[in-house]
Amino acid sequence: MSGEKPKVVFVLGGPGAGKGTQCSKIVERFHFVHLSAGDLLREERAREGSEFGQLIEEYIRNGKIVPVEVTCSLLENAMKLSGKMRFLIDGFPRNQDNLDGWQRQMADKTDMQFVLFFDCAEDVCVVRCLGRGQGGSGRSDDNMESLKKRIQTYNNDSLPIIKHFENAGQVKRIDATPDADTVFQAVERVFLDAGFQ
Ligand code: ADP
Ligand code: C5P
Ligand code: MG
């Protein structure tokens, strides 16, 4: 077998930490393809004839994590379709089921570089999500009721996954509190140090 495997960076952090915002900047600067698991699920929910539409809406509104078979296949299809070799996988893996599914389906086919972890206090995350909702995100989960559940899921299910990667020495932690341009200065350093340009 010849050829390199596609390079993958996992992008994690609480709801509203700024993952999508920073990913856009990374795409511009380092020419990655940005794949947000949440965006892919919302697209699939909206796709006419999708057998998962209702299930996805139910999970998203309740801040629960959709079974990995759905999410991982959406990610794999999007990776194949792009024909590219550098991917930001944003908002995944979000729980043990996500991680196990990735190991089964994708780990051997890809080259995971590191985990970019946007560390953001809960109250800041809440303000940002509610602001995004007021700004017209149209998301059914940018409201206080869903947000409480999303934060619970993050604390109970996602933080242990970040911890798992941390124990393996794979986490690049970024303070997500400052303004977006300041956060990106730290992000840029991480990618340059990892040899990307
Ligand atoms: P995530 O993808 O992690 O949920 P987003 O990138 O969508 O987060 O950002 C959530 C909201 O917070 C958006 O309205 C965005 O414009 C805003 N935002 C993102 N980064 C920052 C920042 N560093 N400071 C202030 N607001 C931010
Ligand atoms: O990352 P984002 O905030 O866009 O995710 C929105 C929702 O999409 C999550 O709260 C969850 O319900 C769903 N999701 C999921 N599995 C993922 C990522 C997102 O079920 N890996
Ligand atoms: Mg996002």
pLDDT digits (tens, 9 = 90+) for 107-152: 999 999 999 999 999 999 999 999 999 999 999 999 999 999 999 9
What whole-number percentage of the chain has pLDDT above 70? 99
| The total number of structural domains that make up the chain | 1
Do residues 84 and 33 lie in contact, with contact meaning Cβ atoms separated by under 8 Å?
yes
Query: Residue 42 belongs to what domain range?
Result: 7-191
Residue 92 annotated as part of some ligand binding site: yes
pTM above 0.85, yes or no: yes
* Domain-located, residue 197: no
Residue 178 annotated as part of some ligand binding site: yes
Where does ligand 2 bind, in terms of residues with CB under 6 Å? Answer: 15, 36-38, 41, 59-60, 63-66, 71, 91-92, 94, 98, 141, 150
Tell me how far apart the alpha carbons of residues 68 and 64 are, in angstroms, rounded to a whole number.
Answer: 12
Residue 19 annotated as part of some ligand binding site: yes
* Domain-located, residue 196: no
Mean pLDDT computed over 29-42? 98
* Domain-located, residue 75: yes
Query: How much is the mean pLDDT over the chain?
Result: 97
pLDDT bracket for residue 2 (50, 70, 90): low
* Domain-located, residue 132: yes
Domain CATH for 28: 3.40.50.300
* Domain-located, residue 115: yes
* Domain-located, residue 116: yes
Close Cβ partners of 112 (under 8 Å, ≥ 6 residues apart): 8, 9, 10, 170
pLDDT bracket for residue 32 (50, 70, 90): very high
- The rounded Å distance from CA 38 to ligand 3 centre is 7
